[in-house]
Amino acid sequence: MEQAKNMAVVTLNGTPHVCPIGTTLSDLTQTHGAGPMPCGGHGKCGKCRVTVMGEVSAPTEDEKRTLSPDELKNGIRLACRVTVMGDCTVTTAEQGRGQIVTHGAFPASMSGKEFDHSWGGYGVAIDIGTTTLAARLYGREGKLLAETSRLNPQSAWGADVISRMEAAMAGNAAKIARITRRALDGMLTELADASSVKTADMDSVVITGNTVMLHLLTETNVEPLTHAPFAAERLFGEVLTAKELGLTALSPDAPVYLPPCIAAFIGADTVTATLASDLREIPETALLCDIGTNGEMVLWHENILYACSTAAGPAFEGAGISMGMSGRTGAIDRVWVQDGEIQAHVIGEGAPVGLCGSGLVDAVAALLDTEILDETGYLEDDPVEITEPVTVIQEDIRAVQLAKSAIHAGMRTLIHTARLDCGDVATLYIAGGFGSYLDVGNAGKIGLLPEELTDRVTVLGNAALTGAAMLLLCEDLRAVCERLAKDTQIVELATNPVFVSEYMERMMF
Interval 334-376: pLDDT, tens? 999 999 999 999 998 889 989 999 999 999 999 999 999 999 9
331-338 sheet: strands from edge to edge? 341-346, 331-338, 354-355
Backbone angles phi, psi at 207, to 5 degrees: -120, 115
Q: Residue 2 pLDDT more than 60?
A: no
Segment 282-298 shows an average pLDDT of 91
Segment 490-506 shows an average pLDDT of 94
Q: What is the pLDDT of residues 87-96, one digit of tens each?
A: 998 988 655 5
Segment 60-84 shows an average pLDDT of 88
Please give the C-alpha separations between residue 281 and each of 39, 42, 68, 274, 458, in angstroms, as whole numbers: 41, 47, 56, 10, 16
Q: Residue 159 pLDDT more than 90?
A: no
Q: Residue 1 pLDDT more than 50?
A: no
Q: What is the pLDDT of residue 113?
A: 82
Instruction: Classify residue 201 by its DSSP letter.
Output: G
Give the domains, in start order, of the chain with CATH numbers. Answer: 7-92 (3.10.20.30), 108-276 (3.30.420.480), 323-392 (no CATH)
Cis peptide before 389 (omega within 30 of 0): yes
399 neighbors 392 (Cβ within 8 angstroms): no
Q: What is the pLDDT of residues 185-235, one digit of tens each?
A: 999 999 999 999 999 999 999 999 999 999 999 999 999 999 988 889 899
Q: What is the pLDDT of residue 459?
A: 93
SS3 annotation, 348-370: CCCCCCEECHHHHHHHHHHHHHC
Q: What is the pLDDT of residue 98?
A: 58
Confidence band of 38 (pLDDT split at 50, 70, 90): confident
Mean pLDDT of all residues belonging to the chain: 91
How big is the CA angle at 408 (ends 101 and 99), to the nearest 5 degrees? 15
Q: What is the pLDDT of residue 99?
A: 65
CA distance 471 to 257: 9
Q: What is the pLDDT of residue 4?
A: 64
Segment 436-459 shows an average pLDDT of 94
Segment 432-439 shows an average pLDDT of 85
Q: Residue 317 pLDDT more than 50?
A: yes
Backbone angles phi, psi at 259, to 5 degrees: -60, 165
Q: What is the pLDDT of residue 3?
A: 56
Q: Nearest-CA neighbor of 168 among 259, 179, 50?
A: 179
Q: Residue 100 pLDDT more than 60?
A: yes
Please give the C-alpha separations between residue 182 and each of 30, 153, 186, 246, 476, in angstroms, as whole numbers: 13, 10, 6, 9, 30
